[in-house]
Amino acid sequence: MPLLAVRDLAVSISRLRPLDGISFDLDKGEILGVVGESGSGKSLTAMAIMGLLPLIGGRVTGGTLHFDGIDLAGLGENEYRRLRGRRIALITQNPMTSLDPILRVGEQIDQVSRMHLGFSDSQAKKHSIELMQQLRVPEAATVHGQYPHQLSGGMKQRIVIAMALAADPELIIADEPTTALDVTIQAQIIQIMVDLVRDRGLALILITHDMSVVAQACDRVVVLYAGRVAESNRVGPIFASPRHPYTRDLIGCISRPGQVRGSLKGIRGNVPGVLDYPPGCRFNPRCDLAQMVCAEKPPEMEVDGASMVACHFSEGAR
Amino acid sequence: MTDSTPAPLVSIRGLSREFGSRSGLFSSPRVLRAVSDVSLDIPRGKVTGVVGESGCGKSTLARLALCLIDASEGSVRFEGVDLASLNGGQLRKLRRRMQMVFQDPYSAIDPRYTIREALLEPFRIQGVGLSAAEAGTKVEHLLDIVGLSVTIADNYPHQLSGGQKQRVGIARALALDPSFLVLDEPTASLDVSIQAQIIALLERLRRDLGLTYLFISHDLGLVRYFCDSIVVMYLGRIVEILPSAESRPRHPYTRALVESTFEPDPTLRRVVTKLSGEIPSAFNLPAGCAFAARCEHASDLCRTERPELSKDRHDHAIACHHPID
Amino acid sequence: MRHAGTLVKVLRTTQGGVSAAFLIAVILCAVLASWIAPYAYDIQNLSAANQEPSWIHWLGTDEFGRDLLSRIIYGARTSLTVGVVSIGISVLVGTSLGAAAGYFGGTFDRAVTAVVDLTWSFPEILIALIFIAIIGPGLHSTAIAISIAYLAQFTRLTRSQIMALKTETYVEATINLGATHGHVLFRHLIPNALTPILVAAMLATGDAIILEATLGFFGLGAQPPTPSWGAMMSSGTATIFIAPWIIIFPGLAIALTVIAINLFGDEVIEALDIRARLRDS
């Protein structure tokens, strides 16, 4: 049984339905990339798993979410609170705002293990410093006593990761964890997260818009577009032979070494807002393979082993 | 420079810029050298890339090149004219020839202006009188060359997407027919799909209008794709100049950048182990090579003596005591 | 108009609608005093002094037998004029000083900031009193003294707005197009800074009315027989036990006007969502 099983998830915010038909599985020791442009529903998926939808006035209105056999959709807020931070942790995009500026960073990590694992002050501190060392924070004991403003962006992001790890969770959701960081620091942070998953048998959902990060780190990929799954597969085949034109176009947005100037295309237009979802396949106005049928009828999800694709011309994209 | 090379459009010599920072009423000011002794020729009709991480001085260099901020030392010549020798009025006039596209399209247009007003502002500033009909044609033409529909002309910036705003920013920069465009991370705050669109647009405009670009970016992959030559900066100094995008990097820092740039291909995964440590503070730079603390090739020499930038016979310049072959 | 929608939003709220209606009534009183007031403000009738409210004198009469309602209606003219004129001067001068200091920086900025910080540390009334001590009492000196007392607030607010706005990319982009400082300041920075300044000015008008009344109470503002709410309260103190209405009704006029201004201002701040921008100064 997978650690996390999402089936036909639909999310509503008041009368709108920004997300529907989202399905994927995640096993221990696996990294799942959730990709798409801004507005494709990546962060909303993360919030649904974290049970944070009520914060933005949303709720799960269809499908199921099972975490280690627990039905997340049926969980009360109190039960969710015991899960959140303890067994499922979230790493947010902006390390600058996810730390409390007036608390020492070490104290912020300590709090998590004291609260969820019942550690004493000294146990918690020892645990935090060990974690920081694992995350390659130099002079961890010193940094433990420092305030966020004394640290660089990359170091702050490591502290945020340490907070996420402090209660020894089984599932981590990282929402664009390196977008705000420099490339050399991004590379280090991604490497650290990959090592964590391999060493500890964690499961990681990596939310990103960058296909090169996916290629570097992920085992499996779910490509979201305008609130639906466009395609999902293991990382090898999805890059070698994408079946959805959107996947192919997203990969094509990143230049490769030696690529001829002028051959980078981008994707025309923008992701539609939830009020403007077009009928039929939601990608059809931006797709260069689109035919009449694409604007009329939403494509069925074709499932073939690990591969899932929703496109009328899934063979043509190759 | 040999006689066969045409004169560069922009020529930068020994450019430095310091910023003072005072943290309190009674503390002595700390000095930050954002750009140190940068010399660079920007050839006509080419794309010169400047790549580096935050704090490397690339944005300051962009502003120095356009004389938007004054240099502490050194000179910038545009078509042979030293910008520092011009008075305020002459410099303002020259600005129609050199323009900039900014990183943040969200704040690059005054929120109180419609797109039409924003596109016509350059003409008003430069005292170019336009009749109503001419103004209409100009707006239509400018929107057209950046691939926007004229129907957005009367919208306010907040009604446009990030990509559309960046196109308006480019149209505005092109309004006065400049020959030189500084592109300061024009795609850094956009989605990847939009990034590629904007790069394709810039490439088409360069070809059609014969523009010269100085392209500032933190993304080495993008710079290698888009630029004719690549300048690598680290903590205010040029550490390497690659004469072409295909040149093999020899500076350990450039190598580290290459290794940190992921490729969209899971069969080419990087092993990220080499680069450790943090970028030192620009307020107190080490005595020797600024990269020494993070460099696996660093020797005692590197920690005491700063390597000078020197060119080999292929125009490949490098500032390193132990370049990689 | 960008702000028409905001105004509609404000007027639709109970608080905004009621306070706006009250303020319009006060303004109408001030403008149309000579038509509305049942009596002239300066006609004395000592035989009818200290009369309590009646059908003839709705709010009673004062110690000289003058009709209190008429004097309050005329008093609205004094209070509003002094409030609006003095704050107007404050805004004009403060915005210019603050914009120049914030935009150009340097020695001028340091000098302006030093003076502003110095005056900021004194209560407005003290500053006003000092200036009246120098230039003498009267309506004009009251207006000038009040405008000086509030100068620091607007200089400071404008300066902080300009400092924040001048880092916006469009400012740099405009300079890069060859724009002069005047163009940048008047076409971009000041228009964008204006909304919070105008809202602050509206709220300050309420404070200025209180300050005017206070100075009037001490006999430093409008001189008799010109009616001023503060001076009327002051004259009522002598008869507070036999004719309390003389002090109560002008006091109510002040209180209700100022409360209405503040309530209306609050709704505007809410509608424009600029609380943070006002606080930052």
Q: Of A35-44, B213-222, C46-55, C185-194, which range is least confident? A: C46-55
Q: Is the dihedral of CA A38, A39, A45, A48 positive or negative?
A: positive
Q: Write out chain A residues lying below 8 Å of B275, CB-based.
A: 184, 187-188
Place of tokens 């430069």: B126
Task: Tell me phi and psi for residue B113, to 5 degrees.
Answer: -100, 140
**What is the biggest distance separating any 2 CA atoms in chain B, rounded to whole angstroms?**
69
- Token duo for residue A162: 């340490």
Q: Which chains touch C (3 or more CB pairs under 8 A)?
A: B
Task: Provide the pLDDT confidence category of residue B95 given band limits of 50, 70 and 90.
Answer: very high
Mean pLDDT of B124-128: 92
Rounded Cα gap, residues B318 and B295, in angstroms: 15
Distance, in angstroms, between A152 CA and closest chain B CA?
8
Distance, in angstroms, between B103 CA and closest chain C CA?
9
Out of A209, A256, A262, the one facing B264 most closely (by C-beta) is A256
Domains of chain C: 2-280 (1.10.3720.10)
Q: What is the DSSP string of B87-143?
A: -HHHHHHHGGGEEEE-S-GGGSS-TTS-HHHHHHHHHHHTT----HHHHHHHHHHHH
Q: Of A176-180, A302-306, A307-311, B151-155, which range is least confident? A: A176-180
What is the domain extent for residue B95?
A: 10-318
Q: DSSP code of C161?
A: H
Q: Write out chain A residues lying below 8 Å of B220, CB-based.
A: 183
Residues 189-228 on C with a CB inside 8 Å of B are 191-192
B163 occurs within a structural domain:
yes
Any residues with CB less than 8 A from the CB of B206 and at least 6 apart, and which? Answer: B45, B47, B213
Pairing state between β A203-208 and A31-35: parallel
Contact B112 C183 (CB under 8 A): no
| Burial (Cβ within 10 Å: 0-12, 13-18, ≥19) of residue A1 | exposed
Q: Which chains touch B (3 or more CB pairs under 8 A)?
A: A, C
**How many domains would you assign to chain B?**
1
Q: DSSP code of C206?
A: H
Out of B66, B95, B102, the one facing C169 most closely (by C-beta) is B102
Peptide bond into C225 cis (omega under 30): yes
Task: Tell me phi and psi for residue A290, to 5 degrees.
Answer: -65, 140
Contact B62, B71 (CB under 8 A): no
How many B/C residue pairs have CB atoms within 8 Å?
57
Q: Identify the pLDDT of residue A186.
A: 85
- Token duo for residue B110: 């005054």
Place of tokens 């393979």: A289
Tens-place pLDDT, residues C103-112: 999 899 999 9
Contact B225 A212 (CB under 8 A): no
Contact C2 B112 (CB under 8 A): yes
Chains C and A touch (3+ CB pairs under 8 A): no
Closest C-alpha among B105, B73, B309, B103 to residue B215: B103
Distance, in angstroms, between B68 CA and closest chain C CA?
7
Q: Of A152-156, B127-131, C146-150, which range is least confident? A: A152-156
Pairing state between β B317-318 and B237-242: antiparallel
For C179, name the nearest residue in chain B, comparing CA atoms only.
Answer: B125
Rounded Cα gap, residues A244 and A309, in angstroms: 7
Closest C-alpha among A225, A268, A227, A226 to residue A247: A225
B262 occurs within a structural domain:
yes
Q: Identify the pLDDT of residue B28.
A: 67
Q: Identify the pLDDT of residue B270.
A: 84
B34 occurs within a structural domain:
yes
Tens-place pLDDT, residues C34-48: 898 888 888 888 888
Task: Tell me phi and psi for residue C190, to 5 degrees.
Answer: -65, -45
Bridge partners (DSSP) of residue A31 are: A204
Task: Report ipTM for this prediction.
Answer: 0.85
Place of tokens 């009828």: A297
How many A/B residue pairs have CB atoms within 8 Å?
130
Distance, in angstroms, between A210 CA and closest chain B CA?
7
Query: Is the Cβ of B111 closer than 8 Å to some Cβ of chain C?
Result: yes
Amino acid residing at C28: L
Mean pLDDT of A135-155: 86
Amino acid residing at B19: F
Any residues with CB less than 8 A from the CB of B69 and at least 6 apart, and which? Answer: B17, B60, B63
B323 occurs within a structural domain:
no
Residue B16: how many CB atoms within 10 A of its CB?
19
Distance, in angstroms, between C88 CA and closest chain B CA?
24
CA A145 to chain centre: 30
B60 occurs within a structural domain:
yes
Any residues with CB less than 8 A from the CB of C261 and at least 6 apart, and which? Answer: C19, C23, C202, C203, C205, C206, C209
Distance, in angstroms, between B320 CA and closest chain C CA?
36
Contact B68 C176 (CB under 8 A): yes
Terminal C-alpha separation, chain B: 26
- CATH number at B33 reads 3.40.50.300
Q: Is the dihedral of CA A132, A133, A138, A139 positive or negative?
A: positive
Q: Is the pTM of this model over 0.80?
A: yes
B325 occurs within a structural domain:
no
B1 occurs within a structural domain:
no
Residue A56: helix, strand or coil by DSSP?
Answer: helix
Question: Does the pLDDT at position B279 exceed 90?
Answer: no
Contact C141, C133 (CB under 8 A): no
Q: Write out chain B residues lying below 8 Å of C189, CB-based.
A: none
Contact B263 A257 (CB under 8 A): yes
Task: Provide the pLDDT confidence category of residue A168 given band limits of 50, 70 and 90.
Answer: confident
Task: Express as a percent the part of chain C with pLDDT over 70.
Answer: 98
CA A192 to chain centre: 16
Q: DSSP code of B171?
A: H
Tens-place pLDDT, residues A6-35: 999 999 998 899 999 999 999 999 999 999
Question: Does the pLDDT at position A222 exceed 70?
Answer: yes
Rounded Cα gap, residues A139 and A160, in angstroms: 17
B38 occurs within a structural domain:
yes
